[in-house]
Copies of this chain bind each other. A is one copy, B any other.
Amino acid sequence: MIKARVTVTLKNGVLDPQGKAIEGGLGALGFEGIESVRQGKVFDMSINADDPKQAEKSISQMCEKLLANTVIEDYAVEIL
């Protein structure tokens, strides 16, 4: 069994109102010096497979088809 972590983040330049809200919230709580916050998603997957390279390829396809919106998001696949 192969475990993998997929991280999906907004591309640079794409507005992130959720991140902005968190920034504001942290400021309101008294935390100082926060330049920017951007929020993304993480998917922890377990896959029944033997070949890590094959699994990585398959997970990249999952990202292209479902996990990420590649117009505005980048993804990174990490085999653990």
The residues of A with any CB-CB pair to B shorter than 8 Å are 1, 7, 9, 19, 22, 25-26, 29, 31-49, 58, 61-62, 65-67
For A36, what are the chain B residues with a Cβ–Cβ distance below 8 Å?
Answer: 45-46
Q: How far is the CB of A53 from chain B (nearest CB, A)?
A: 15
User: Chain B residue with minimal CB distance to A59?
Assistant: B31
Let me know if A62 and B26 touch, CB within 8 A: yes
Let me know if B43 and A22 touch, CB within 8 A: yes
Q: Which 3 A-B pairs have the closest CB atoms?
A: A33-B48, A35-B46, A40-B42
For A9, what are the chain B residues with a Cβ–Cβ distance below 8 Å?
Answer: 42, 44
Neighbour of A41 across the interface among B33, B39, B49, B58, CB < 8 A = B39
For A1, what are the chain B residues with a Cβ–Cβ distance below 8 Å?
Answer: 35
Let me know if A33 and B7 touch, CB within 8 A: no
